[in-house]
């Protein structure tokens, strides 16, 4: 996944040993969500802590600093994949029974919740010719027959029309000329 500078971001559950990789001093159990509201900000999550964080990104080194907790302990599910809309708002899939997308500001203020027909949404991304459709993926693994009877849509791909357009994606190797701000 690329940032505003066209750099590649990688996470690892084990200790990485990549030449030229920079390391973040914070330790995460399961890292999900990588969105850049601006060239000097990264929003990421630790799913097991049910917490969303914002970091300052040093444009010269790519190092992260000034961690700030944006959302922690939200009562519906756990944080999973996210994306940005063209207004700089964050859309977050709430996995493990959350059954919704959380829509919030880049400061962590929850604005609204979009209900879904699955209980384990895993990620979301804007697509289509004008980025006006929000696609949501969902999980189906480890689910019992009775759960699947209640939620037969588990494992599906959903198309949502949220009334806003998505931010153009950052692409690896292609720096962005302007921030969303």
Please write the tens of the pLDDT for every residue from 88-105: 999 999 999 999 999 999
Instruction: Mark residue 169 as left, alpha or beta (left: phi above 0; alpha: psi -120 to 50; beta: remaining).
Output: beta
Report how many domains make up the chain: 1
Neighbours of 57 (CB within 10 A): 21
**Residue 24 forms part of a structural domain:** no
pLDDT at residue 25 tops 70: no
**Residue 22 forms part of a structural domain:** no
**Residue 54 forms part of a structural domain:** yes
Neighbours of 89 (CB within 10 A): 20
**Residue 12 forms part of a structural domain:** no
**Residue 72 forms part of a structural domain:** yes
Range of the domain at 78: 31-160
Is 80 a catalytic site residue?
Answer: yes
**Residue 18 forms part of a structural domain:** no
Annotated catalytic residue within 23, 80, 112, 130: 80
Quote the pTM value.
Answer: 0.83
**Residue 126 forms part of a structural domain:** yes
Domain of residue 94, CATH code: 2.120.10.30
């Amino acid at each position: 996944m690329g940032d505003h500078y066209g750099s590649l971001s990688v996470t690892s559950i084990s200790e990485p040993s990549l030449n030229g990789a920079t390391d973040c001093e914070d330790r995460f159990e399961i890292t999900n969500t990588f969105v850049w509201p601006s060239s000097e900000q990264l929003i990421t999550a630790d799913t097991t802590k049910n917490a969303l964080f914002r970091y300052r990104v040093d444009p010269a080194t790519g190092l992260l600093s000034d961690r700030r907790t944006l959302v922690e302990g939200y009562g519906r599910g756990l944080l999973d994949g996210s994306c940005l809309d063209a207004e700089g708002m964050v859309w977050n899939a709430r996995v493990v029974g959350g059954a919704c997308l959380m829509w919030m500001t880049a400061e962590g203020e929850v604005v609204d919740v979009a209900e879904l027909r699955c209980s384990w949404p895993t990620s979301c991304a804007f697509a289509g010719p004008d980025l006006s459709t929000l696609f949501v993926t969902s999980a189906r693994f480890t689910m019992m027959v009775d759960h699947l009877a209640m939620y037969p849509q588990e494992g599906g791909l959903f198309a949502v029309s949220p009334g806003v357009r998505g931010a153009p994606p950052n692409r690896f190797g292609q720096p962005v000329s302007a921030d969303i701000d």
